Each structure stands twice: as structure tokens, then as C-alpha cells.
Structure 1
Amino acid sequence: MNRNVTEPAGKAAEAPLRSLRDLRGLTQARIALGAHGSGVPTQAALAFNFDHARAREAVWTAMDADAIREALTQQGLDSLAVRSSVTDRAEYLRRPDRGRTLHADAETALAAAGSGFDVGIAIADGLSATAVTLNAVPMAAALAGRIRAAGLSLAPVVVASQARVALGDPIGARLGLRCLVMLIGERPGLSAADSLGCYVTFAPEVGLPDSRRNCISNIRQDGLSIEAAADQVAGLLRVMFAQGTSGVALRREEPPPVLPMSDGGPQSR
């Protein structure tokens, strides 16, 4: 006997479930590696060792500050170089606190740059010189274009060696910045050793907690594009200048349509 069976709505139209192997092309995460006995296949093991070596290289390789400054000059950006109180890379990894304080010789360079700018950009090696080498100068150039188009004054780009994020606070304070944008190499993972982070701080001063910063991360070829990241930073600057704050106190509502125009030239704080 034939019977008419009504399927629940949408049941027949359901697509078959995709396996993890089907999803490998959508992510760089280590999924569906397969198995060989109690271990992973040789190809997966070799890929792991290669990515681990790239991560170590990103952490231990020194940033070429002179090459960064030369590339900035080619982009029409003035720059200066400073360093933290760290003596070498090993100390940088052991003593994060020293990476947050400026070396004594930085005072002269910062004093010569002037004071009272609307926005400053700092480039720091952080935990990945690879990320800085590949992404920092194009990102700084993209940001500079947006900042200048808004009529805001831009300080010389500060290239900081052996630096942690908070080193931007004394840099911003000495340059009299209304807002600091810190571009820094992020801690490398086993799928991304070239990720650049961006920390934006309104009214930087020594001793600020991290809750006063806003972060945009994963800026790289296979992550957030430089143009998209620069647009996001410009949006943050709009809201920060409008509200006079940054970090957790910032209300990410509908931003003003354009960056606020400067009164003409650097503004003192």
C-alpha cells in the first residue's frame, strides 16, 4: 500500500554535512591532518616543524631599523629611531618591563622632533620582526594618507627597537600627541608568523593601563588587509577625537562622518 509521508519543512532541502577535511581550504588552522599509526603523517609533521622554525625566527630576528626608516623616506615620511632600556633580545624576552621604558638616549631624538601633534605613528619590533618588515611601512603610509587628508598634523614616525606596546606611552607624552598609533609585531603562532598588531591610544601618558588602548590585530596578507585596517584605524580616530577617550570607555556607536579638522598645525597639550 502506498502512503504519502509529509517531510518536516526544510528537512528534504538540508545540505549534507561537510567534513573537517572539506573545510581545510577555508582556514590555516591545523585540522583534519590525518593519522599514521599513533602519530600524524610525515607531511603534517614536517609542516609543523617548518612553521615552528618560522615562529622562532620571527621572535629572535632583529628588526632592521635603518631599512625601515629608508623605506619610510621613500614613502615621503620623516622618521626617527629610539630604543627601549633592553640590552639584547634575550633580556627583551625575560624582562617585559624594560621593554616598556625608553633608553636615556631617546630623549634627544624625541626632543628634536618637536611637540604638539595631533597623531603619531610608532613602529615597534615587538615579538615578530617578520611582521614589521612585511607590513609596517605600507600600513604607516596608508595611515598617513588618511590622517593628512583629514587636515591633522602628523609627527615623524618613531621606529622603536626592543619595544613593548606600552613604550608608546612615553613616546606619545614626549611628542605631545593627542593620539598615538602603535604598529607592532604580534606574537607569532604556528599558522601566522607575520601578523602585525595596531594599538591606538588617546592622550598617551606614562603609566596608562592596557584598558585605555584599542587593538586591531592580524594585519597581514592572509588576514586583515592593510587598506581595511587603515580604514578601521581612521574610524577609531574619528570616535576618539569626538569622545576624548580610548579603550574600554570608548563608545563604538555611529562615528562622525569625517575626522575632525585640526585648527591648523600642531596642537599643544
Structure 2
Amino acid sequence: MSTQSKNARAFIVLGASGGIGAQVASQLSAAGHELMLASRKSDRLDDLARELKASKRELDAVKCDEVQACFEAASQKFGRIDGAVNCVGSLLLKPAHLTRESEWHETINTNLTSAFATVRAAAKTMTSMGGSVVLLSSAAAKVGLANHEAIAAAKAGVVGLARSAAASYAGRSLRFNVVAPGLVKTELTKKIWENERAAASSTAMHPLGRLGKPEEVASLIAWLLDPANSWVTGEVFSIDGGLGNIQGNQRATRG
């Protein structure tokens, strides 16, 4: 048996058809792990599962019973679940007074309820052996950004959810951590980075002077899923080009 086979583990990637989710799946697959890829029905999910020779499951991640069924199916298929990541998300850029009630509920459901469904399913399925669960927040949950009220509230809720779950299940070796990106170039954010003016403004907000790449966020997620890092739980990892901790675009220059 190869070393890679001995080290193979089983992971669930929710939101696998998105930019970050697909990169997480690709990196985990390249490392020889078994995968259950989950998202709403899409050609992208079908293509990715075929490309990576991975299992797939179509679901609505805001429905707890569907997420639970996904975890149970993965556990039955692989014999265990070593980790899960929820890359499901949306982006609403509107001030509160222009946000419709339906938009508020949709933002909360997509970003926070799906995260809760993931935590709930992991707690029901993974506590016998432990493992790692990674949720996605946003730099907007840490920094006050104009026109981000709904998404900032949802993503801040993800942080509170993860930390509470980390406390609840630490005794069962089930870890919960959060990755909080700045603006990453994905299909979801395409309207921003394809607009010259919006792209320039967004880039200037990130002290490193550029937007993030999906593979950069995916690498951090893969690190958190790795059992070699099993003494990490309840943490929020910013990966935002300095947006959350550095004032302005003050990159050092050489004299």
C-alpha cells in the first residue's frame, strides 16, 4: 500500500461547485483523500465529481435534514468522516435601508443557517472519532465596511457559532475553526472585480494591493482539516491581504 493510501482520509465539501469549494476539493483530491462533494444541482458539480473521481450529493445546504443525510451517506460510504468544510455563501452589498426583508432572510439562511446545519450534522455524525470542521466567515465580520450590514451580520454569526461549537465538542475531539477571507476573485464576486472602478476601490482596501485567489483560501482550509494540526480549535483565521488588521494601503517601499 502506498504512503498516500495509508494517509488517505474522508472529507465532505459543502458548496463544492463554488470557486473556493472547488479549489478545496481539488487540493484534497490531489493529496489522495476521499471526497463527498455537495451542492445544489449543477453541471459544475457533475463535472467536478467526474474530474476528481469523487462522490457527489445534490442538496440544499440550508435544510438541516438534507445536510444530515449527506453526512450519513458519507459516513456509510467511507466508514468515517475526518473533516468537513462549508463553502456555501452569498454576497449582498446594500445598506440596511435598501435591503428587502426577503434579501435579509436569504442572506442569513445561505450563510448562517447552512453553517449551523453543518455544525449540527457534524455533531451528530463525527463525535465518536472526532475531526475538523471549517466554516467560512468574512473580513466584513471584523471590519466595519459600508453596505455590508446583512452579510456582515450573517458572517459574524458564523464566528459565534463556531466558537460555541468548539467549546461544546472539544471533549470529543471535534474541532471547529473559521476562515475569514477578504475579497477573493470567484464567480460570486465577478461583478465587483470585472468592474474597473469597483475593482480598483476593492484592491485599494487590501494593504497587500491585490485581491485574493481561491487556491490561497483553499490551502488554509486544507491545513485546518489536516489532523497534523489537531491542537487548533475555536480560532478565526483572517486571509484578507491585511484588510482586517492594517490601516490603509501602507505597503513598505524600499528607499
Same-fold call, TM > 0.5?
no
The structure that is helix-richer by fraction is: 2
**So what's the TM-score if we normalise by structure 2?**
0.37
Larger Rg: 1
